[in-house]
Structure 1
Amino acid sequence: MNRIAPDRSPATPKATDRRLIMLVDDSRWQRRLFARYLDGTDFDVVEAESGAEALRLFRQRKPDFILSDWVMENMTGPELCAEVRELSTDSYTYFILLTSKADPADIAYGLENGADDFLTKPTSSAELRARICAAERILHLQERARRTNEKLTEALRILHKTQSAMERDLKDASKLQQGLIGERSETYDGFAVSNIQRPAGHVGGDLTGSFAINARRFGVFAIDVSGHGVAAALLTARLATQFSPSVDQNAALLINEFGLYEARPPAVLARYLNHLMLTDLQTDTYFTMVYAMVDQMSGEVRMVQAGHPHPIVQRSNGEIEMLGKGGYPIGVIEEAGFEEISLTLEPGDRLLIASDGLSDATDASGAIMGEAGVAAIMRANPDARGSDLCDELVRSVNAFSDGRQSDDISAVLIERLRPI
């Protein structure tokens, strides 16, 4: 049986498993009539004889439904509805106006003030209960949506917190990775080496650098790990140890029978790294590479191309040559063969080893920059040297692609200096 709250009843907490309906009407018998209509339902009922009392009870009891007469002294039903909507609550109150008005303009006025439904007087018990049941379904859907919303908000809060932590970690990782390439520019007797890296995200899978082999020769490497992001960066960090300045860790160096350090030939180094990837690291990832040994006295360069874009040599007279035949990437086929390329850099010549982040850049129409486009940038900047040329390459590619960078960009530039 439904519990009817008497007029001016003290505010008491409503049962959590029952809805609360507030009846608002300045006619006591009208309130009693509707309370009787609700007798036997699963609702508690509280009554208010005026808009002011309804607002007081609303603040205390937070009813689920308000059934209010339209015409009352001092505060009409639409005015009460507008006041209720101004009060912020955690749950929604369904507002039904009782009216004898059927004019569309009056109904529009009630809706503008926040009413959800109308009952035309006189009304029957069956119609009132049907309207309340329909409203109950709406409130149930709203509450379910609110709970879902709360869960989503909490999930988003946790996600945002996690993303913020990841963002900090990635920024730290980016600083560490930038440190892997060492100095951006290095000089060896008669040669200058310049490096540039621009990951597509916080961290990338490209690596360039150089190291001294002995007093006469130095090594230069350019690596592009397949994929992007953290997984590629982790393998890049692992490979960085294989080209460490420390002779004890550098895979390009070995100790001969006399206990002296000497360099592995480029093709031999490629085979060693290929075996390492397929047996020790056992990863699905692979990488492309160019590794070159440069003789500082003769200018001779011995290099291996393992799936990396073709190195580009620009002679002192501006002529461009594309080097190599492509070759297999490292970590794909155990029996892969690797061939060496030999050339001589004369004073004023320069050799660019760039990742496909430059040559594969596309413009708005989908046209590809290509290796020919990279070579064209070199031709257009004959006087640019060292890091200035590397920066110009990146600027030109960014201009070509309208600033869209979908792949990591890296390059290493070897220049044989003219005698002073």
Structure 2
Amino acid sequence: MMHDRPIQPAGPAGARPALQRILIVDDSRLQRRILISALKNTGYIVEEADSAEAALEACARRMPDMILSDWMMPGMTGVDLCRAVRGIQAERYVYFIILTSKSEKGELASALQQGADDFLTKPISSDELRGRIAAGERILRMERELTEKNRLVTQTLTEMQALNAVLDRDLLEARKLQMSLVPRGTLRMGPAAVSFLLQPSGHVGGDLVGRYGTGTDRIGVFALDVSGHGIASALITARLSAWLSGDRPDQNAALMWQDDRIVLRPPDQIAARLNRMFMAEIETEHYFTIVLAQIELATGAVELCLAGHPPPIVQRVGGATELVGTGGMPVGLMAEAEYEVLKLRLRPGDRLMLYSDGLSECPLPEGGMLEEEGVQHLMRRHADICGAGLFEALKWELSALTDDRDLPDDVSGALLEYGVEPPGQGM
């Protein structure tokens, strides 16, 4: 037998309190009446069942918030009922109070171990009953609040995972677009060949390498590194790439008119112009370093400008290496920054490598960084490898040094080789 007795409306409209429905289980009708009377005007909806089996049927229809159950009943006991309720996969926790005339601590402890939350000793005091129910309600309220917070966290995590999936797809596309800014393969022009490396530490990065100019007597190569990492730096590299592209002076900061023909600006003038454009047109706290190199194809004469970038490395025919230049002011820090030109000459078989600090600052297993001397050592070790093959060898070396872990910074480079026989195809 089971009855549903609404005592009075529970809580304000639109809000569900932590404790709303109580199920009283006792084979004694008189005991049920006593308990129901004690809960009169408390604001709870009270159900009653005359057996554990009837109580389980009530739970199957609608799970109560709290159960008050006599221990000793024909058939299933109150402890059996508690164990059965705990086995039901309910969305909300059910607070379970055992009503008993037992007083042995061992039996009471056993009831608690099997899932009961509290117990009341018969005869039951109305004040103690309401006090125990109030204590249970506080616990249920905390459980409900925690459940709701967990639900919100789970919902938020699900939404974030969906957003991250979209962001990952967008970043993969952005990576493809950024990689498309770097020439593929080895570019050749007369006796010169240029190969490029770009390996962002994340989906996208702040490094960029490339060439500029469309003439037939000189070729320009650059490597730059925008401060910071991630999307903001990558967006700036895209803007800078546009400033060094195109075949007209109004499109390309590296070009100018001279005697009715378009020629390359000297590298120090390019750096100064980029500095003025960057500070005037881009509102950001970022800045960038860059190295610009121009080679005269007929003679191998090279003009360099360093703007805060690591010093390039010249490797001579026999494998010996040397650093070229130091320092220089990064671009985007001072409006009137001045830049210098460094000059050198490449003989047939020599090569010049521009690289970012992601290479020289690669962490070593024993501590410290690779440094410029370490980069030179790797170049000497692979002096017989040409073109893009050298960069592949360097990537293998970095993987070995870092035990295949992701590098902390973007790695980029441009390799200018002089005296290379063209394969019958210009750039």
Equivalent AA in structure 2 for residue 223 of structure 1: L
TM superposition score normalised by structure 1? 0.93
Mapped partners of 2:109, 2:297: distance in 1: 89
Residue 409 of structure 1 is matched in structure 2 by: 411
Q: Is the Cα contact below 8 Å between 1:267 and 1:340 reproduced in 2? A: yes
Superposed, 1:74-113 pairs within 5 Å as 74-113=75-114
Residue 135 of structure 2 is matched in structure 1 by: 134
The gaps in structure 2 that reach 5 residues or longer are 12-16, 423-427
- Aligned-pair CA distance for 1:370: 0.5
Residue 390 of structure 1 is matched in structure 2 by: 391
Equivalent AA in structure 2 for residue 148 of structure 1: K
Structure 1 residues 121 and 364: CA distance shift in structure 2, 3 A: farther
Name whichever of 98-107 and 371-380 sits farther off: 98-107
Equivalent AA in structure 1 for residue 255 of structure 2: L
- Aligned-pair CA distance for 1:245: 4.8
- Aligned-pair CA distance for 1:280: 2.3
Q: Is the Cα contact below 8 Å between 1:352 and 1:414 reproduced in 2? A: yes
Q: Is the Cα contact below 8 Å between 2:300 and 2:347 reproduced in 1? A: yes
Q: Is the Cα contact below 8 Å between 1:213 and 1:219 reproduced in 2? A: no
Q: Is the Cα contact below 8 Å between 2:5 and 2:45 reproduced in 1? A: no
> Which one of the candidate residues 254, 257, 262 is aligned to 1:255?
257
Deviations 1:67-102 (A, max 9, x none): 011121221112211221222333221111122334
Superposed, 1:330-341 pairs within 5 Å as 330-341=331-342
The SS at the match of 1:210 is strand
Q: Is the Cα contact below 8 Å between 1:290 and 1:306 reproduced in 2? A: yes
- Aligned-pair CA distance for 1:13: 12
The SS at the match of 1:9 is strand
Residue 9 of structure 1 is matched in structure 2 by: 3
Residue 14 of structure 2 is matched in structure 1 by: none
Residue 351 (structure 1) aligned with residue 352 (structure 2): yes
Q: Is the Cα contact below 8 Å between 1:13 and 1:61 reproduced in 2? A: no
Mapped partners of 1:416, 1:282: distance in 2: 39
Residue 202 of structure 2 is matched in structure 1 by: 201
Mapped partners of 1:85, 1:283: distance in 2: 60
Deviations 1:269-327 (A, max 9, x none): 11100111112223321110011111111111111010000101111111111101210
The SS at the match of 1:282 is coil
Mapped partners of 1:369, 1:120: distance in 2: 76
Superposed, 1:42-57 pairs within 5 Å as 42-57=43-58
Q: Is the Cα contact below 8 Å between 2:7 and 2:40 reproduced in 1? A: no
Deviations 1:215-267 (A, max 9, x none): 12111010100111010001100000122154462221122342x11110001
Equivalent AA in structure 2 for residue 255 of structure 1: W
- Aligned-pair CA distance for 1:121: 2.5
Structure 1 residues 280 and 39: CA distance shift in structure 2, 3 A: closer
The SS at the match of 1:371 is helix
- Aligned-pair CA distance for 1:107: 3.3
The gaps in structure 1 that reach 5 residues or longer are 1-6
Mapped partners of 2:375, 2:110: distance in 1: 69
Mapped partners of 1:102, 1:194: distance in 2: 88
- Aligned-pair CA distance for 1:166: 1.1
Name whichever of 12-21 and 200-209 sits farther off: 12-21
The SS at the match of 2:116 is coil
Q: Is the Cα contact below 8 Å between 2:190 and 2:421 reproduced in 1? A: no
Residue 30 of structure 1 is matched in structure 2 by: 31
Name whichever of 260-269 and 157-166 sits farther off: 157-166
Deviations 1:144-186 (A, max 9, x none): 2222222222222222222111111111100000001122321
Name whichever of 373-382 and 13-22 sits farther off: 13-22
Mapped partners of 1:55, 1:337: distance in 2: 86
- Aligned-pair CA distance for 1:201: 0.8
- Aligned-pair CA distance for 1:11: 9.0
The SS at the match of 1:215 is coil
Mapped partners of 2:111, 2:259: distance in 1: 99
Superposed, 1:295-314 pairs within 5 Å as 295-314=296-315
- Aligned-pair CA distance for 1:194: 0.9
Q: Is the Cα contact below 8 Å between 2:244 and 2:253 reproduced in 1? A: yes
Percentage of identical aligned residues: 42
- Matched pairs, number: 413
Q: Is the Cα contact below 8 Å between 1:311 and 1:324 reproduced in 2? A: yes
Q: Is the Cα contact below 8 Å between 2:213 and 2:254 reproduced in 1? A: no
Mapped partners of 1:417, 1:356: distance in 2: 28
Mapped partners of 1:214, 1:61: distance in 2: 83
The SS at the match of 2:198 is strand
Name whichever of 220-229 and 117-126 sits farther off: 117-126
Structure 1 residues 282 and 48: CA distance shift in structure 2, 3 A: closer
Q: Is the Cα contact below 8 Å between 2:10 and 2:43 reproduced in 1? A: no
Residue 171 of structure 2 is matched in structure 1 by: 170
Mapped partners of 2:313, 2:168: distance in 1: 37
* CA-based RMSD: 2.1
Name whichever of 248-257 and 219-228 sits farther off: 248-257
Residue 210 of structure 1 is matched in structure 2 by: 211
- Aligned-pair CA distance for 1:212: 4.5
Residue 70 (structure 1) aligned with residue 71 (structure 2): yes
